[in-house]
Amino acid sequence: MSEHVDEQAVRDDAVSRLSQEVAQQSALLSQVIERLRQTEARTTTVATRGGKQEAVVLWPWSLDPDRTVEEWERLIVWVDGMCVTHAVTAIPPCWLAHPDLVNQLEALRCAWEIAAANHPGPELIAWYTYSWRPFLGYVQGVDRCRNGHQPDPPATVTDARFHPLAAEQG
């Protein structure tokens, strides 16, 4: 009888552990599904040279409807502060209308905050050398909106018809 009770206890314990594992996997699956929905919600139609195409927005913070006014203001104040402090004229005043610039400036701001946290030091010098100056060179090279705002050119995106397996599937 004791052996039967022990077997039942082992089974009950295994069922309990399995039930916990199923609950954990279910919670994880729910998280993955929610992230997938969020990713799908971040798709947008972009103008391409061949027409229009759906694309995933890779700069979610710039188009996030939940982004607060304070977050936008923080970025704007930082950009304006950097431009004034360093007499920067390369960044166009309409940078907010260009998601690629918003994306890069937000990344630069985040990296600057980390580098500046240790006060002037090697991290901040590295940030200026390897992040800020190359970014300014890029913006000057693009030479965007010098004489007023110009919309971004149509995006170049992958034409799936040229995929090596497209002919086999079509």
What range does the domain containing 16 cover?
Answer: 1-55
Cα dihedral: 72, 78, 79, 81 (round 10): 140
Which segments of the chain are extended strands (E)? 43-48, 51-56
Which segments of 49-120 are extended strands (E)? 51-56
Backbone angles phi, psi at 46, to 5 degrees: -115, 145
* pLDDT recorded at residue 85: 95
List pLDDT tens digits, range 123-137. 999 999 999 999 999
End-of-domain residue from the set 38, 55, 72: 55
**Whole-number Å distance between alpha carbons of 156 and 145:** 20
List pLDDT tens digits, range 64-97. 556 678 888 999 999 999 999 999 999 999 999 8
**Whole-number Å distance between alpha carbons of 153 and 49:** 9
Residues 102 and 30 occupy one common structural domain: no
pLDDT at 62 over 60: no
Residues 29 and 67 occupy one common structural domain: no
End-of-domain residue from the set 28, 55, 82: 55
Confidence of residue 113 (pLDDT cuts 50, 70, 90): very high
Q: Write out the two tokens for 87.
A: 């007499």
How many distinct structural domains can be found in the chain? 2
List pLDDT tens digits, range 35-58. 666 666 666 666 666 667 666 665
Residues 47 and 98 occupy one common structural domain: no
Model-level pTM greater than 0.85?
A: no
Residues 68 and 128 occupy one common structural domain: yes
Residues 61 and 46 occupy one common structural domain: no
